Chain A
Amino acid sequence: MQLFPKSIALVISILYSTGAIAEDTAALGRIQVEGDAPGSGWMVQEETPKARSSITRAAIEQNSPLNNPFQASNLLPGINAYSYDATGLFGGGMRMRGFNSDQIGVTVDGVPVNDAGNFAVYAPELIDLENLDEIFVTQGSTDTDAPHVGSVGGNIGMVTSSPTDEHRFRVQQSFGSNNARKTFLRADTGYLGDNRFKAFISYSKAEADKWKGSGAADREHVDFKGVLNLSPGNSITAGLLWNKMLNNNLRSLTLAEIDTLGRNADFGTTPPRHLAGVNGTAQIERGPSDLYYNLNLNPFKNYIATLKGNFQLTPDLHLDVEPYYWYGYGTGGNELRTVSESNTQARLGGGIRDINLDGDTLDTVMIYSGAITKTHRPGITVRLSTQVDNHKLMAGYWYEHARHSRSQPAVNFDATGNTVDPWLENPSQYLLRQDGSAYQGRDFLTINTARSLFLQDSIGLMNDKLNVQLGLRHTGINRDFTNYASEGGVATYNIQKDYAKTLPSLGVRYQLAPEQQAFFNLAENFRAPPDSVFYGLINGGTFSNGVLTGYTLRPVNVAPETATNLDIGYRYAGKALTFSGSLFHVDYRDRIASAYDPVNGTNTNYNVGDSTTRGFELESSWRFQAKWSLYASLTYTRSRIGQDLQTAANSYEATAGKQFPDVPNWMAGLALQYRSGPWSGSLSAKYTGQRYSTLVNDESVGGFTLVNFDAACRLPSTNLFRNPLVRLNVYNLLNTDYLYLNAGSGASFTARAVGAGGSSPYYYVGAPRTLSIMLASDF
């Protein structure tokens, strides 16, 4: 009798539990899989068949909230990040496997943020650290579907946070050394209307004085994200990022200047004095040798609007449609320059009108003039993924149409050293030529049409123990460059060039044991020439009636840069210990740099030769106690320049066999973390080894260790404050002295420092010990 109810139950369960197929299935139940990073955010157990590292929120938040994302990623293997000050508001950069950030593709939420013309990346423009959930880097290889045409050294992706499921309002206020302060407000709606829509909007304002010299940084930032869930697996996400900043630049110094002027030397603080204008005599003004801090500005504003449609059309077919729009406007560097008045048909537009209004056009006057860049960049990525048996196929297309203009107007400044138009966006203020047109130190317009057609097949073999990933991308850019007649290039000319390459990649991952894997990766990378190869092509010619005639244009025969990247690696993903290591070899060909082009007999940007870089990158995270974990990374990089550098018809610099500047042989990172109840703390250190400063390796700066400390305590909630938090962050705890090379591009290294014809490289002085305290609370 007792068997019957059991049989009925069994029958019922068999027939209904698995739908159409009735079978005796033993259910293991539900297992939760969290994407948390062991080692408290410093490391993720990667599985991709290529070298890759990530850092997530738990480790990102252990920085001062004013910091930029490059600073947050500094401990990752292969990364050599530098920042001009502790806050990161004034800028900085990074290198990876010897490549500079303008040779690496950077995206924010999948949108490319490298400058459309020269691939430069400016970290403080990008994100608020409070809204950053993850930074991932693929050292050496570019992802198959990544939207980059300038990534010869790999790519970096930043992922911003999604709106929270629950309604939430939070306020964070930071104070710190050098009058640093940041206010951050964020409101999350939580899920509205039966879990369909949620959004957040945040606003922040950050300010800080320069740690040396006069001047400050001022940055405002707004983030918005809205998610609409259409159905499981189908969603539309809209995002907006807006950033506006106005900084005074920090001054970089040569070693000799550091000796004579001291480490704290910065730009001049006395407003440059204009000479009193006298009609009939030439007043020749000269800018002060140490310039002026308030005519040395970095105003920049940008926004990125994104829309992501992610659709799971069938369980095996996924479609992404991701349009975006990027706008950027700003200038930087030193703006204190001089221009000369004139009134002659031998100059463009008849020459520049009387600037100091003394009645003559004989003077040379100091003015404020900066190189403006203005970019409109709409683009779209469409991606289709499908699973066919053991093949995960992905195919797609990225298209971007960038309208990139570069100009350089000039405006006056007054006796107090202030200019009416630091943003140079008011044409009524521009200095004019005799014919009424505005003076332009340069005037370029490039229409860049970039595209990438990509295909990837990820094959699972041997019960997913072996994964073979084949990738193919045909990536290219069409540059339609127009130089409008300007003081920087006195005739109008147009050049169109198309650069494209087919780039295969092969990745293999083999699971040696459930927690051990080995991987191999071979990838081709490509970087189109920057638009600077189109500058200054005019040869000869004479002015007649204000127009240049009889000139010729130099041909542009620059090939794109390419690199072949090889990784071989091993990973161990245990319960408490995670380890990843890779050996790498990079073959970097046709590096573009300024040198003497023997074919055209002139100094220009062109392909100067090849190099190889090899080394290893190790990282490991170890939770050795319930409350303690340790993260460590070690990087060895050995670069070798292939050829000598030709600098004139008969002279060469002895660069063959030398190492690239600012690529230390050794780098090591260490982070010790403690988490217990309301307390969390971390002590992190980054050792950056000795680095050369010139291509012939005749100047170098020593290695140093930068130690940072961070501690936070969550306080009990009160009626008004919910989940309050106090955080203390100390940058450069040991007050170490150190220098960073000022070489913001992979192309603009100083060839030689010592001897005739050499020039001293410039360095940014590392910031001293800097404190920052943050108070945060929900309401």
Chain B
Amino acid sequence: MTEFLFRFRETISAANATALVALLLVLFGPFTMPPNPSALSPAPIEVILATPEIEASPDTPPPQPVAKKDHVMSRKPAQTHLSPLMPEHPLPMPDNTASPALAEPTPLPAPAAAPETILAPQAPPPPRNPAKDVEALYVARVRAHIQSIKHYPTGREASLQRPRGTAVVWFTLRRSGELAEAGVEKPSGSMLLDSAALSTVRRGIYPPFPDNVWTGKTQQRFSVELDFIPYNPS
């Protein structure tokens, strides 16, 4: 299904998308409304849509400086994907708040398993596809690399203007890890930040894809949100 749509990605627009969704819902809707939503895992949506950096409570400030938070994040993959056979693991999210839940193995079907973590499903999903874990592991590696080479722009303009904003950058990597293309998906409102975000991504040296992820694809598109905060934000 995925590949079918992928081939036609260029021609699908938002307006058409709406019509298509409506059509699909009508066609497949009766089959898809489960009596107990909690029995099924909503996780697949969250894999793609949600920005993984979800705080337990969006209003509380991060308890630690960002550097530490990301540090925890980049350590996470090593901790949590030691055994892909643990079925109760929710789909791996590169997010530290999920970490405590993932680090400890919880017993099988416990609907109340880790209820505080919003990412953890209410009930364990069916055994995961190991390839998805490896894919998430790779995504986490790419994220960790960008984390390590990120930089706030410097220079006269940056010093005097000290812009603040979030730029969303997309980039495609080839299977070899080579960067094919990159661009700004959502500008931050500051050209300085947009170009700093783009140059960060362009400068990266990315690992090759593991064999069992995105099989059949020669390239994969990624997106990253870079949130720039000048020092001494006022």
Contacts and interface: CB of A to CB of B under 8 A. Distances in A.
Highest count of chain A CB atoms <10 Å: which of B149, B155, B194:
B155
A43 to B, nearest CB: 11
A32 interface: yes
Given A25-B222, A316-B191, A514-B204, A12 B21 contact: yes
B94 A29 contact: yes
Contacts of A163: 234
A16 B17 contact: yes
Interface string A28-59: 11111111110000001111100010101110
Contact of A22 (B9, B202, B224): B9
B222 A5 contact: no
A220 B105 CA distance: 65
B164 to A, nearest CB: 9
Given A8-B24, A54-B154, A315-B191, A26 B220 contact: yes
Nearest to B31: A4
B107 interface: no
A460 B204 CA distance: 15
B162 A18 contact: no
B146 to A, nearest CB: 6
Contact of B199 (A11, A23, A28, A460): A460
A173 interface: no
B106 interface: no
A10 B48 contact: yes
Contacts, number: 250
A1 B31 contact: yes
A436 interface: no
Interface in A160-174: 161-165
Interface string B197-233: 0110011110000000000000011111111111111
B45 A34 contact: no
A159 B51 contact: no
B53 A8 contact: no
Interface string B107-149: 0000000000000000000100000000100010011001111
Nearest to B182: A463
Contacts of B188: 232-233
A324 B101 CA distance: 57
- Main secondary structure on A side of the interface with B: mixed
A678 to B, nearest CB: 16
Contacts of B147: 31
Contacts of B223: 18, 25-28
Given A33-B228, A45-B151, A56-B231, A463 B202 contact: yes
B154 A22 contact: no
Contact of A25 (B18, B48, B148, B189): B48
B187 A28 contact: no
Contacts of B95: 29
B44 to A, nearest CB: 5
Interface string B40-68: 10101100111111000000000000110
Contacts of B83: none
B153 A47 contact: yes
Given A23-B221, A109-B160, A31 B12 contact: no
B44 A6 contact: yes
A514 B49 contact: no
A518 B94 CA distance: 34
A11 B139 contact: no
Contacts of B48: 10, 13-14, 17, 24-27
A136 interface: yes
A56 B232 CA distance: 9
A724 B223 CA distance: 43
B40 A5 contact: yes
B76 to A, nearest CB: 12
Interface residues of B, number: 92
A157 B155 CA distance: 11
A146 B156 contact: yes
Contacts of A575: 148
A392 B152 contact: no
Interface string A473-512: 0000000000000000000000000000000000000010
A610 interface: no
Given A165-B234, A310-B161, A35 B126 contact: no
Given A31-B226, A35-B230, A460-B199, A8 B70 contact: no
B72 interface: no
A110 B185 CA distance: 32
Contacts of B159: 54, 134, 136, 157, 159
Nearest to B48: A13
Interface string B1-19: 1100110011011100110
A26 B173 CA distance: 11
B162 A29 contact: no
B36 interface: no
A89 B143 CA distance: 49
B85 interface: no
Contacts of A109: 160
B81 interface: no
Contacts of B158: 35
A129 interface: no
B191 A312 contact: yes
B191 A8 contact: no
A32 B199 contact: no
A523 B220 CA distance: 43
A312 B190 contact: yes
A218 B200 CA distance: 49
Given A11-B24, A464-B199, A20 B14 contact: yes
A759 to B, nearest CB: 41
Interface string A44-87: 11111000101011100000000000000000000000000000
B51 A35 contact: no
Nearest to A513: B205
A44 B155 CA distance: 10
Contacts of A3: 1
B152 A34 contact: yes
Given A13-B45, A15-B21, A29 B191 contact: no
A449 interface: no
B198 A464 contact: yes
Contacts of A310: 161
Contacts of A234: 189
A320 B221 CA distance: 35
Contacts of A460: 195, 199, 202
B49 A17 contact: yes
B184 A315 contact: yes
B190 A233 contact: yes
B194 A387 contact: yes
A321 to B, nearest CB: 13
Interface in B62-107: 66-67, 70, 94-95
Contact of A26 (B148, B199, B222): B222
A45 B154 contact: yes
Contacts of B150: 31, 33
A157 B160 contact: yes
A31 B224 contact: yes
**4 A-B pairs closest in CB distance:** A233-B189, A35-B152, A15-B17, A232-B189
Given A26-B220, A28-B139, A143-B156, 14 more contacts: A2-B126, A28-B222, A31-B70, A31-B227, A32-B227, A33-B152, A34-B152, A133-B232, A145-B156, A157-B156, A161-B234, A315-B191, A318-B190, A463-B179
Interface of A: 1-37, 44-48, 52, 54, 56-58, 109-110, 133-134, 136, 138, 143, 145-146, 157, 159, 161-165, 231-234, 310, 312, 315-316, 318, 385-387, 392, 460, 463-465, 511, 514-515, 573, 575
Interface of B: 1-2, 5-6, 9-10, 12-14, 17-18, 20-21, 24-25, 28, 31-32, 34, 40, 42, 44-45, 48-53, 66-67, 70, 94-95, 126, 135, 139, 142-143, 146-163, 165-166, 170, 179, 184-185, 187-191, 194-196, 198-199, 202-205, 220-234
9 contacts: A7-B1, A12-B45, A16-B17, A27-B223, A30-B224, A31-B225, A46-B155, A312-B189, A463-B202
